[in-house]
Homo-oligomer: A and B are copies of this chain.
Amino acid sequence: MDEKNMRMVLLYDFYQGLLTEKQRYMMDLYYQQDFSLAEIAEILLVSRQAVYDHLKRTENILEKHEKNMKLIEKYFQQQKIIKNIEEKIGSCELESVGTELSDFLDELKELLKQL
């Protein structure tokens, strides 16, 4: 998957709740189920161009939502912090630690995974 597609999958993941059912359906066929424009056109009995235009419009809507809400930006910031914490815990393990502390660190790691 190229970088542009990856971004669109991410945008769809975060903002699909703000799309109409029709917009979600097309995005799902194209980005999740990997149908081609021609195949979607055949399914929906419309032209390939109509599918393209519809997807383009939906993509613009998703980009606008990210511009206004920055959920993806915040998500990556948070992932960076979580990675920092994980690395800190990892570096502590490298030293010789007792079983009790080792269990404690494992539990912290488990909790972090849930974030």
- Residues in B with CB closer than 8 Å to A85 are 108, 111-112
Contact code string A49-92 (vs B, CB < 8 Å = 1, else 0): 00000000000000001001111000000100110110011001
Given A107-B88, A108-B88, A108-B108, A115 and B82 touching (CB < 8 A)?
yes
A6 at the interface (CB under 8 A from B): no
Which bracket fits the contact residues of A?
Answer: 20 to 34
CA–CA, A115 and B80, complex, Å: 10
A10 at the interface (CB under 8 A from B): no
CA–CA, A18 and B67, complex, Å: 10
CA–CA, A101 and B12, complex, Å: 42
A92 near B104 with CB under 8 A, answer yes
B114 near A81 with CB under 8 A, answer yes
